[in-house]
Structure formats: C-alpha cells, structure tokens
Amino acid sequence: MKFSVGYQLRPETDFIDTIISNKDSIHEVYFAWDGFANGRNTTYIANDFSKWEAANRKMSDLSTLSKNGIKFNLLFNATCYGADSLSKAFFENIGDTVDFVKTTLGLSSITTTSPIIGKFIKENFSDIDVRASVNMSIGTIEGMDYISDYFDSFYLKRELNRDFEAIKKLKKWCDDNGKGLYALANSGCLNNCSAHTFHDNLVSHENEIRKMDNGYAFHGICHKYLSDKEHIKSYLDITNFIRPEDTELYEGLFPSLKLATRVSNNPSRILKAYIENKKFSGSVCDLLEPNHTHTLYPYILDNSKILKTVTNEKLTYSGINSALVKLEE
C-alpha cells in the first residue's frame, strides 16, 4: 500500500528524512500554499521561524523531496473562500500559483472542495488530476456523478472507511467511469459530526478570526463530547480510523491511503507506524488527527489491544474495555 503524506514545517529535518527513507511507499506529499485558506490550521506551526525564514525553508524542503522523485498534491481545500470564491483575481492567483508550483517543483494533482476551482484547473491544467476533498463527504454514486465534470478522483467519506461493501460499489463506478477513489486512513474525527462544517469554516477564516476580539474559543465538539468518560466507551464505534495493522486489507481498493500529518506533534511516528512497522504499540490517538490523547487522560486507548473482525462486508473494531488502559498516577 502506498500513502499520501501531509507536509509540515519543523525545526529539524527528521520528518523530511523519514519521508525520503520511505519514498518507495509514498504516493504523494500534499501541502497548502501560503496566502490561501485551507482545511487545516496554518502550516507554520513551528515557532522557530520568521515568516520569511519559514517560506524559504518550506521551498527548500519541497525541493529536496522533488529531487528525490516524490510527487506533489496541492491543496485548495478550504470549505469557504468568502468574497473571493468566484472572483477573477482569485482565479488568476490560483493559476499563477499552480503554474509556479508545477514549473518549480512538479505537480501531479490538486485536492479541492470547490467545484469551480476544479473546473478552472481542468480547463487550464489538463494534465493535473483534480481530486475532491474528503471535506466534501462524498459517499454515494450520485454524489460523485453530480460533480464528475469537475473532478478526476474523489476522497471517500470518512464514515465509510470500514465498509468494504460500500467501497467496492463506489470503486466499481469509478473504474467504469475513468475516475479514481482514495481514502483518509487516520482521521480522529467523530462520525457524522454535526459541527464539522462549522468547524471547517472557522478554520477557513482563521486569519480573520484571530484579529477579532472574540467572545468564545472553539476547538471542536469532539473534545467536549469525549471528556465524558461514558462516551469514550463508544469510541471505536463512532470513529472511522484504519489502524496501521489493517491497511493491507485495502490493497486493490485504493491506489493510496492519505495520512493526516500536517499538525501532528510527531508526524514521523505516524509514518513509521503505517509504513515502516505496519503496527503500533501505544495510544492509537497519537496516530490520529485530531489527537484525543489528552482528552482521554488518565486513560489511553492501547492500539495493540484493539480487537478486529473482518468480513467481506466490513471491518469492525471492538474490545474497548481491555484496550482502554488507565495510566499510573
């Protein structure tokens, strides 16, 4: 199984080194471009760089990856672009950016939530695969067919990750219609989160929001929900992650699985678990984005103690009572 990995700027080069050492298993490295809203908080989570140092370091990291033959996926995956959404200036900026990245680094695909951005890329960069973001929650043939003129491939709705029957149905349609199907392996989001769109919109506007005198902070419904220890008992049923031990079950269903690594405090750990070791001992939440390890404290959800059942229809995780281990105080 190959994996798509999210770029993260870090003080050291350990993450870049880990990507390169596993390049034979890397399908793409994906990243957002500065100046555009995107589906995650700012890439520059490291505090060791000024704005200009960060930009230079990012170009250096990406150039190193490019020289090692690694393909790139550029993100325009914010759920809201505000007044810019349809403006000529916005699309001129996208065109200039795509042209620069393609010419300077190489670019194989773009992931976006916007059908109009998809339309623009297909009309102007026909050799680039246009992929529908996981944030669009596409989980039906109808959902893909409606926007098939704008997209070449689709990320699967998170909630279907363990539903082989649904995946095979969608894959058949994609195969029959010359489309690609992908999935995100390590989402820590709760299934069918009713606050997901609201939260994604906040992230899209974070640069504006941080300048305001805000009355509230919002870090997601999931953290508050899981702070109730009774709710933790259903954690395996209300999440959709795929453990490193189980990715081989998806061979032939997806050309690659996406790993969320852009905001992890230890992205190399995620790559080593999924690619190098294909297993992990410790809190499974440490592999996920969002990471609920602190929310579950003083318990951890021990990945090695999670039980699985595999049928032709589904992958099911169980054993929460034995997997939920209380740390010594």
Tokens of 225: 């929900």
Helix, strand or coil, per DSSP, at residue 45: coil
Instruction: Please report which confidence band the pLDDT of residue 71 belongs to, taking 50, 70 and 90 as the band edges.
Output: very high
Helix, strand or coil, per DSSP, at residue 76: strand
Q: Which long-range contacts (CB under 8 A, 24 or more apart) does 83-89 make?
A: 85/114, 85/116, 86/116
pLDDT tens digits, one per residue of 93-133: 999 999 999 999 999 999 999 999 999 999 999 999 999 99
Mean pLDDT of 203-219: 90
| pLDDT given for residue 43 in this prediction | 45
Does position 139 have pLDDT exceeding 70, yes or no?
yes
| pLDDT given for residue 103 in this prediction | 98
Mean pLDDT of 198-202: 92
Single-letter residue type at 103? T
pLDDT tens digits, one per residue of 243-272: 999 999 999 999 999 999 999 999 999 999
Instruction: Please report which confidence band the pLDDT of residue 315 belongs to, taking 50, 70 and 90 as the band edges.
Output: very high
Does position 45 have pLDDT exceeding 70, yes or no?
no
The answer to whether 31 and 9 are in contact (CB under 8 A) is no
Average pLDDT, the chain: 95
CA gap 154, 133 in Å, rounded: 7
Mean pLDDT of 190-218: 92
| pLDDT given for residue 42 in this prediction | 54
Helix, strand or coil, per DSSP, at residue 290: coil
Does position 39 have pLDDT exceeding 80, yes or no?
no
Q: Check residues 140 and 54 and name the one with the higher pLDDT.
A: 140
The answer to whether 65 and 16 are in contact (CB under 8 A) is yes
The end-to-end CA distance of the chain, in Å, is 39
State which H helix or E strand residue 318 sits in: strand 315-318
Mean pLDDT of 228-233: 91
| Preceding amide of 267 cis, omega within 30 | no
109 strand-pairing partners: 73, 129
- In sequence order, the 6+-apart residues with CB closer than 8 A to the CB of 291 are 188, 264, 265, 285
What proportion of the chain, given as a percentage, has pLDDT over 70? 97
CA gap 44, 218 in Å, rounded: 20
Q: Which domains does the chain have, with CATH numbers?
A: 2-213+240-276 (3.20.20.70)
Does position 41 have pLDDT exceeding 90, yes or no?
no
Helix, strand or coil, per DSSP, at residue 277: helix
